[in-house]
Amino acid sequence: MPFRSILVTGGAGFIGSNFVRMVAREHPKTVITVLDALTYAGNLENIADLVDSGSVRFIKGDIREPAAVRVAMDNAEVVFNFAAETHVDRSIEEAASFIETDIQGTYNLLNFARELKVKRYVQISTDEVYGSSAGKDFDETSPLRPGNPYSASKCGGDLMCLAFANTYRLPLVITRSSNNFGPYQHVEKFIPLFITNAMEGKDLPLYGDGLHERDWIFVEDNCRAILAVAEKGNDGEVYNIAVGKSQPNLRVAELILKHVGKTNSRIVFIEDRKGHDRAYRLAAEKVRVLGWAPRTEFAPAMEETVRWYVDNRGWWERVKSGAFREYYEKQYKDKLAKGKTK
Ligand code: NAD
Ligand code: DAU
């Protein structure tokens, strides 16, 4: 990787931690700083080994606070913004924190990226900004039609990015990927919830008729695409990232049960999510022109993912019970109190 030093916001979350782990493993000379507020979704355990070994400098801080952003961005050549409120169901209950983090937080990052003249700013966005697709693949020029408060907030962040690219010529790129799955994903999300519920002998709650479709991408494939866009993407451009193999939630649930060794009788159909987007379908040729292609097929990646949750039961049990916070606070108490671990 040609980058000397990077700032990864949200690097203690699901995709951010996988990204940090990949960069640390494959590009050990790159200096990595993580800025993360450690919300309910952030888990220092996800990168604790890298923080302990000194491969990652960790700063506990909030992208909504300009002072924290200023400190973290010092010396960063490239900024990757993964930090966001991300769970659709939570945004339906309460959207204020989504607006604050996903829009205001992005604005703070853009301001300092401009002031400090970062070489590149990478905004991690989502296929949800285009809204539900009725049989049509959305490309990067498709209109934004968010279907829930989360995706509306992500649209706000994206639009602010595009405004900064146009107004101030800030060298930035935006990635919009489909649904990720893999290790370290929070158990509130569909795949980890269903794997862990199946392991615990609990019901698997499918929304509506279970025929809503998602185009699942293994998290490592998305992380590689993000790197490719950061390195080779054109300033001011958006890049969709997807595999192009949508499938209904019911089929995914059945596959999970098969891997965990349980019967389909555990699936229960429950009341649908409000405003539930039926499907997301992306045209993603543009990122392939940069040389990226997914390396992983869905079925083996799902098998690997189930194995990870089986092998890391302590991790998800601590997340489910909330004990993970106590776990890392005990380990990092003094350092976190100073707002920094190193
Ligand atoms: P996540 O919820 O697992 O992690 C989010 C991280 O951001 C957490 O570590 C959290 O502590 C941190 N964070 C939240 N608010 C913050 C704030 N104000 N300041 C600093 N840190 C804060 O999310 P994820 O699934 O890893 O998603 C990462 C990014 O990728 C998000 O921008 C999301 O919109 C986008 N995305 C996710 C998916 C997916 O399938 N998970 C798909 C497409 C795009
Ligand atoms: O498409 C990208 C988006 O994918 C990201 O931008 C979001 O941050 C991420 O949370 C995800 O959003 P979804 O709403 O698609 O993911 P979730 O895991 O919440 O749900 C996936 C599908 O499974 C969706 O159709 C709703 C359904 N579902 C989900 C849960 C939690 C259920 O049927 N039952 C459940 O209990």
- Tens of pLDDT, residue by residue, the chain (342 residues): 679 999 999 999 999 999 999 999 999 999 999 999 999 999 999 999 999 999 999 999 999 999 999 999 999 999 999 999 999 999 999 999 999 999 999 999 999 999 999 999 999 999 999 999 987 799 999 999 999 999 999 999 999 999 999 999 999 999 999 999 999 999 999 999 999 999 999 999 999 999 999 999 999 999 999 999 999 999 999 999 999 999 999 999 999 999 999 999 999 999 999 999 999 999 999 999 999 999 999 999 999 999 999 999 999 999 999 877 777 777 766 666 555 554
Ligand 2, atom 3, residue with closest C-alpha: 179
40 CA closest ligand 1 atom index: 11
Q: Which ligand is nearest to the CA of 10?
A: 1
Which pLDDT score is estimated for 162? Answer: 98
CA gap 341, 34 in Å, rounded: 10
What is the residue extent of each domain of the chain?
A: 5-271+278-338
Which pLDDT score is estimated for 324? Answer: 77
Ligand 2, atom 14, residue with closest C-alpha: 88
- SS3 for 210? coil
Evaluate whether 37 touches 10 at the Cβ level (below 8 Å). Answer: no
Q: Cα of 272 to ligand 1 centre, how many Å?
A: 24
Long-range residue pairs from 145-150, CB within 8 A, at least 24 positions apart, any chain:
147/275, 147/277, 148/88, 148/91, 148/92, 148/274, 148/275, 148/277, 149/91, 149/92, 149/95, 149/98, 150/85, 150/86, 150/87, 150/88, 150/90, 150/91, 150/95, 150/98, 150/102
Mutation test of ligand 2: which of 214, 254, 255, 268 has the most ligand atoms closer than 8 Å to its C-beta?
214
Which pLDDT score is estimated for 340? Answer: 54
Using left for φ > 0, alpha for ψ between -120 and 50, and beta otherwise, residue 184 falls in left
- Helix%, strand%, coil% for the chain, nearest 5: 50, 15, 35
126 CA closest ligand 2 atom index: 6
Mutation test of ligand 1: which of 17, 43, 58, 86 has the most ligand atoms closer than 8 Å to its C-beta?
86
Given 121, 150, 184, 239, the catalytic residue: 150
Q: Which residues contact 28 (CB under 8 A, 6 or more apart)?
A: 55
- Has 36 been annotated as catalytic? no
Q: Cα of 18 to ligand 1 centre, how many Å?
A: 12
CA gap 166, 106 in Å, rounded: 16
- Has 150 been annotated as catalytic? yes
- Give the pairing type, strands 31-36 and 5-9: parallel
180 CA closest ligand 1 atom index: 40
For the chain, the residue count is 342
Q: Cα of 228 to ligand 2 centre, how many Å?
A: 26
Residue 36 amino acid letter: D
Note the CATH number of domain 5-271+278-338: 3.40.50.720
The CB density around residue 324, as the number of other CB atoms within 10 Å, is 21
Q: Which two tokens stand for residue 196?
A: 């862990």
Which pLDDT score is estimated for 342? Answer: 44
Q: Cα of 23 to ligand 2 centre, how many Å?
A: 27
Q: Cα of 109 to ligand 1 centre, how many Å?
A: 15
> Does 50 contact ligand 2 (Cβ within 6 A)?
no
CA gap 342, 340 in Å, rounded: 7
Question: How far is CA 293 from its chain centroid?
Answer: 19
Ligand 2, atom 31, residue with closest C-alpha: 190
> Does 178 contact ligand 2 (Cβ within 6 A)?
yes
Among residues 191, 228, 225, which one has the least CA distance to residue 304? 191
Given 36, 45, 85, 127, the catalytic residue: 127
> Does 127 contact ligand 2 (Cβ within 6 A)?
yes
Report the chain's terminal Cα–Cα distance, integer Å. Answer: 23
Question: How far is CA 91 from its chain centroid?
Answer: 16
> Does 15 contact ligand 1 (Cβ within 6 A)?
yes
Which pLDDT score is estimated for 322? Answer: 83
